[in-house]
Every structure is written in C-alpha cells, then in structure tokens.
A and B are shown apart, each in its own frame.
Chain A
C-alpha cells in the first residue's frame, strides 16, 4: 500500500510537474459561446452536500470553464442561479433578493433532491419544501448529492437547450 515517497523540496517540483500533466475530466468539446455562462450558487438550507459538490466542480479537478461556465460571486454577473437546499422559510427572502439582482435572461436551476421538492426535508414550520413552493421548477439536476460529473453533464445539456 505504500507509494513512492517524494520527500523534501523535490516534492514541490513534482507538484508543479503534476499540475502540468493534469487533464480535465471532461473530454467532450464544449460548443463555442461568445462568453461563458455565469453561475451563481445559493444554498438555502440543506445538508450542504450539493453545494460542496458544486464547489468541487468549481475547483481544479474539473474543467468547468473549458465547458463554457464560470462561477461568479455577484448575482449581477450571473446568468444562471443554481439553487441547492430545501429552501427554508427564512431563505425565501434571500432567494428573491438574489434573483432580482440578476440581469434579464436569467435562469433558475434546482440542484439536488432537496431543492426540487424538499427531498428528505418536505414542508414544515421552518422549510418550504423546495423551490416548487415558490415557483414551478422547469430545470433541475437530480441526485443526493449529484456528483461533479453529473452536474457538469446536466449543465451542458441545459446549455444545449
């Protein structure tokens, strides 16, 4: 079970070399767009699993930007709102505020079972039971939680319309 140990400063060199060898996990060629689709991610009261998987997708192990997407930190820069979590009643105001801050042409996508209909957290005194309580859910990505590969594949399908 032991691997080759690259100790000392040499391991730093290997770290850089490894970085040059890494290949994105997404092999398909993304359709060319004028600019990437801006994704704003909003967690609304779930286990945070979906949010963390999106964070993984946005990390270095996946080729999110090569696929034509970019995560943004300001809703004003976003094209799509990726909503995770069961939508607590307190978060409804936050969802509305973020949605209004997005520019026209915006799109709302429920990510994970909770975001669609609450999943294991249906409507209760503190939760609305998913996005469907606020608006019809037209676009969603299934899973509990969906893997980064599933997320990327679904985003590309949604982008293709």
Chain B
C-alpha cells in the first residue's frame, strides 16, 4: 500500500513539482490509505484536471487527463475540492464524477454571453439570471464585504443552518484575459486581481514565472519583495481590524486603525510609490525608481508609535469578539485554511517560513487558537509587530546572499506569497514565452467550505459583522 505522495511521484514528472497521472494512478491517489495531504486548490480545463497539494510545506501538483469532458472528482477524497470542481464546470463544462455537494453553480448565474465560456465548445447563453436556492438571501450589496458576493442560507427558527455561496457577480473572466499574454503583459492585470493583495498576487505570479523560466531572483530583489509584502500586511490587517471593530461598535479602535492605515498610505505616497503599493512588483523584480530603504523606514516610523495604543484598545474591546464566527481547528486543518483565520484556529502554516532568505527570528506571532474573531484580531496585531521587526531585520542585512539553487527551466512554475489574508498561489505554464495555461488560488477560496460552520447559529442580519473579521475578498475568490 503506497502513500498519497508516493503514488503521485510514481507518475510522469513534467515540472519541478508536477506529475502527470494516468486515470488508474489518479483513482489510486484518491483512495490512497493513510494521511490525506492538505489540498491547496483543485481545477480542471478541457484537457486536464489538477490538484495542488501540500507535502510538508512544499507544493505537489498532480494532474490527469479529462476524457469525454469527465474526470474522477477530487472531492471524493479532498472535501475542499468541491468549489474548484464547480468553477471548472461553469467555465469549461467538464464534469467531476462522484463529486460531493449539490453541484450548484459557483460562478455562472446565467448572465454570461455563453455557457462554458472557456471551453473549446462553448454553449449558448443561458438567457437570464438563475435564482439561488435557500430560504434566505443576502444580496451581493448587503454582505458588508468589499465586493459583490451572493449568500443564501438555510434558516431554522431564525438561525442559520447552512450557507451557499455564489460568486458570479464578482467574476471578471481573469483567466481568459491572461492566457495568451506574455507574463510582462499580464502583470498589470495580475496587480489588480484584488485590493487585498496588490503585492501578494503579483508576487506569487512573479515567483511562478521565475520558476517556469528557471530563474531565482537575487537576494536584493527577494528582500524588496519581502518588505513590500510586510507593508501590505500591516495595511490590510489594519483595514480588516477597523472593519471588525466597527461591526461591534468599537469605534475608537476603528478610528486608530483608520489613522494608522492612512499614515502608512501617506508614507508610501511621500516616497513616490502608490498608496497601496500597486504596480510595484514586476516579473523580474520591482518598479524602477523604488527606494526600498527610505520607504521601509518611513512606514516603520509611521506605524511603530501607534502599536501600543492599538494593543491597549484591542484589550478593551476584545471581549466583544468572543465567540464571533468561530472556526474549529479540525475544519481549519481539513480545508487547509490559511492566513490569520487558519493560524487563529491552531493551523500553524505560514508560507513565509519556507522562503529562502527569510529572517525567521522575526516571525514570533503566536496567540490564542480559539478560532474566533478575538483570536484573529489578536493575531493581526501580533503580526503587525512581527512585520515591523522583520522589516528591521531585513534592513539590517539587506541583500544577504544565500545559496538557493536555480531550478531547471521547464516552462512551468508554481509561486506562492503569504499575503495578509493568507497564502496566494499561482501556477503558470508558458509556451513560446506566453501564458498557455494558468491557475490562481486566492486564500478566500479555502474559507468558502467552512463558512457554513462559522456562521451556524447566527441570525442572518448579524452575518456582515461576522464576515468582517474573516477578510474575505469576492474579487479574489471569483477572479
């Protein structure tokens, strides 16, 4: 009896971490005895079905051929694969056999110009929006999130029993827009996937492209990327904290978060870069003219004096967040929930720890693992402190050499960046220098299957406040 990892490695290796499995090996993988590797993402197109797994802290990608528009459903083994299967059906019309769930549309609400728009054989338009199932609805504009997301609920005696998500309102057809472009042409669009990851998304993409091209960014570039990511982490954590605080009428804490975030934006602006660091990351480094040392110093100087007040105010208002939208540790592990939400539920994954050149001694954040909004907010604050410490460490030894070897050029790469809201993953395959195929996985996707459990027992009108502390981005989920 072979383990899941060994079965995958018995397939044909086509890239650094990618193995082609025949249908028999795919089936064996899905029924392998022993531990189930954590699923990062699942997707399929006309030709192949893919699962991206984590083995330790290393990605492992397995794929198999799609025959007659069908493939054996990864969700038969990986509970979190269901969303990807539904998305793949909506976009390509490929069907996951023996899938879990009800197969409801994930993206296609019936308003598109065609059915299965990315398929080689798209169908005619559905001809009108489909109503969602469920006894109660939160319309896209009523969720309190930054983007449109349709939530429908099964409600019993005024309390939520289950949640269904449809993200079609936020879907912009990102993959269709990126395929065929060179990575450099694609970068401005990748930089606008979601405002929760103006740095994290392009950074994960740049790392995937570098791996596909057989390149390793030099230590100077690597350190600039790390600093940009930490500045974004501080800013987004403050945004999510302010929103959470307002959800429980902790206006003073929200006010301090607002001012701190604005101070960071101004520090960026005064250093000649965009307020939210948009368009800073390029495929081979960073924007010309970026002076990282004064930028990091300015952000540090703006943020450090504000931390004590934020921590004290958090202590004052934290009891209001007790038990709000609690994520059970077992579910966080099962569905590979990352970011603050996962770590506040006892999942220790932080992809920064595997990065070459990371100053690990700065990453000390630990906190409660109770899984509720209080734990998440406490962790956000601790991570802001870590981010400042990490910036100090990097500035103290910027460009420190290491001996990370360059991978072979395989035209295919996987990149990850630990963004403020979790681990952002990109997989790209290049052909003749252009993107032939691509997959994006925003950390919000891993939250979808656990949303029902987190909101169970809530009244529908309390959902927006509960969602505030999770940091969900419809734009990142829907693409």
Residues of A within 8 A of B (CB): 1-9, 11-12, 14-16, 18-19, 22, 42-49, 51-52, 55-56, 59-62, 85-86, 88-94, 98, 120-121, 124-127, 144-145, 147-148
| Contact of B275 with A by CB under 8 A | yes
B234 contact set on A, CB distance < 8 A:
none
Q: Contact at A126–B258, with CB atoms within 8 Å?
A: no
Query: What are 18 A-B contacts defined by CB distance under 8 Å?
Result: A1-B297, A5-B308, A7-B308, A11-B311, A12-B313, A16-B252, A18-B256, A43-B148, A46-B475, A47-B475, A49-B276, A59-B242, A62-B262, A90-B168, A91-B148, A94-B139, A126-B111, A145-B195
Looking across the interface, which residue of chain B has its beta carbon closest to that of A9? B312
Complex interface: chain A residues within 8 A of B140 (CB)? 91, 94
**Residues of chain A lying within 8 A (CB to CB) of residue B141:** 42-43, 94, 98
Establish whether residues B304 and A45, one from each chain, have CB atoms under 8 Å apart when the complex forms: no
- The reply to whether the CB of B173 lies closer than 8 angstroms to some CB of chain A is yes
Across the interface, which residues of A come within 8 angstroms of B309, CB to CB? 6, 11-12, 14-15, 18
Question: Shortest distance in angstroms between B239's beta carbon and chain A's nearest beta carbon?
Answer: 7
The chain A residue sitting closest to B166, CB to CB, is A90
Report B-chain residues with C-beta under 8 Å of the C-beta of A49.
192, 195, 198, 276, 278
Of the candidates A94, A125, A147, which one forms a contact with B169 in the assembled complex, judged by CB atoms under 8 Å apart? A94
On whether A126 and B112 interact (CB within 8 A), knowing A43-B146, A52-B239, the answer reads yes
* CB proximity of A31 to chain B, nearest CB, Å: 25
Residue picked from B196, B297, B392, B475, most chain A C-beta under 10 Å: B475
Q: Which of B141, B262, B300 has the most CB of A within 10 A?
A: B141
- Which 10 pairs from chain A and chain B are nearest by CB? A3-B305, A60-B255, A59-B258, A49-B195, A48-B146, A61-B262, A89-B111, A125-B117, A15-B309, A90-B111
Secondary structure dominating the interface of B: helix
Q: A12-B309, A45-B170, A94-B141 are in contact. List 9 more A-B contacts (CB 8 A).
A: A8-B312, A45-B475, A46-B172, A48-B194, A55-B243, A56-B239, A62-B262, A145-B276, A148-B262
Q: Which DSSP category, helix, strand, loop or mixed, fits chain A's interface?
A: loop
Give CA–CA (A94, B109) in the complex, Å. 13
Contact B173 A126 (CB under 8 A): yes
> Are B475 and A11 in contact, CB atoms less than 8 angstroms apart?
no
- A52, B146: Cβ atoms under 8 Å? yes
Complex: A120 Cα to B172 Cα, angstroms: 10
* B304 close to A3 (CB less than 8 A): yes
| Closest Cβ neighbor of B478 among chain A residues | A45
CA distance A124 to B473 in the complex (A): 21
- The answer to whether B193 has its CB under 8 Å from any CB of chain A is yes
Q: How large is the interface on B (under 10, 10 to 19, 20 to 34, 35 or more residues)?
A: 35 or more
Contact A15 B252 (CB under 8 A): yes
How far, in whole Å, are A56 and B308 apart by their CA atoms in the complex? 22
Q: How far is the CB of B308 from chain A (nearest CB, A)?
A: 4
B188 at the interface (CB under 8 A from A): yes
Type the 1/0 row for B107-123, where 1 means its CB is closer than 8 Å to any CB of A.
Answer: 10101111001000000
Contact of B173 among A1, A62, A127, A145 (CB under 8 A): A127
A47–B194 CB distance below 8 A: yes
User: Is the pair A15, B312 in contact by a Cβ cutoff of 8 Å?
Assistant: yes
B114 & A125 in contact (Cβ 8 Å cutoff) = yes
Q: Which of B129, B194, B195, B311 has a CB less than 8 Å from the CB of A93? A: B129
Beta-carbon contact of B172 and A124 below 8 Å: yes
Shortest beta-carbon distance from A2 to chain B in Å? 6
Q: Is A89's CB under 8 angstroms from B194's CB? A: no
Contacts of A48 in B (CB 8 A): 146-147, 194-196, 473-475
B259 touches A (CB below 8 Å): yes
Task: Determine the residue in chain A with the shortest Cβ distance to B315.
Answer: A12
Q: B313 — which chain A residues lie within 8 A by C-beta?
A: 12, 15
B22 to A: closest C-beta gap in Å:
33
Of B188, B308, B392, the contact of A1 (CB 8 Å cutoff):
B392
Quick check: is B356 within 8 A (CB to CB) of the other chain? Answer: no
Which residues of the other chain, B, contact A18 by a CB distance below 8 angstroms? 256, 309
B258: which A residues are within 8 A, CB to CB?
56, 59-61
Q: How distant is the Cα of A86 from the Cα of B148 in the complex, in angstroms? A: 12
Closest to A97 in B: B139
Chain B residues near A92 (CB-CB < 8 A): 111
Chain B residues lying within 8 Å of A88, measured Cβ to Cβ, are 111, 148, 168-172
Q: Is B14 on the interface with A (CB-CB < 8 A)?
A: no
Measured between alpha carbons, how far is A6 from B307 in the docked complex, in Å? 9
Q: Which residue of A lies closest to B118 (CB)?
A: A125
In the bound complex, do residue A126 and residue B172 qualify as a contact, i.e. CB atoms below 8 Å apart? yes
In whole angstroms, how far apart are the Cα atoms of A35 and B478 in the complex? 39
Contact A3 B189 (CB under 8 A): no
- Which residues 237-296 of B have a CB within 8 angstroms of A? 239, 242-243, 251-252, 254-256, 258-259, 261-262, 265, 269, 275-276, 278
Which residues on B sit within 8 Å (CB–CB) of A47?
Answer: 192-195, 198, 475
B305 touches A127 (CB 8 A): no
Partner of B259, one of A22, A120, A121: A22
Complex alpha-carbon distance, A10 and B139, angstroms: 44
The CA of A146 and the CA of B91, in the complex, are separated in Å by 32
Chain B 417-435 per-residue mask, 1 if CB under 8 angstroms from chain A, else 0: 0000000000000000000
* B304 & A2 in contact (Cβ 8 Å cutoff): yes
Is there an interface contact between B301 and A3, defined as CB atoms closer than 8 Å? yes
Chain B 161-200 per-residue mask, 1 if CB under 8 angstroms from chain A, else 0: 0000000111111001100000000001100111110100
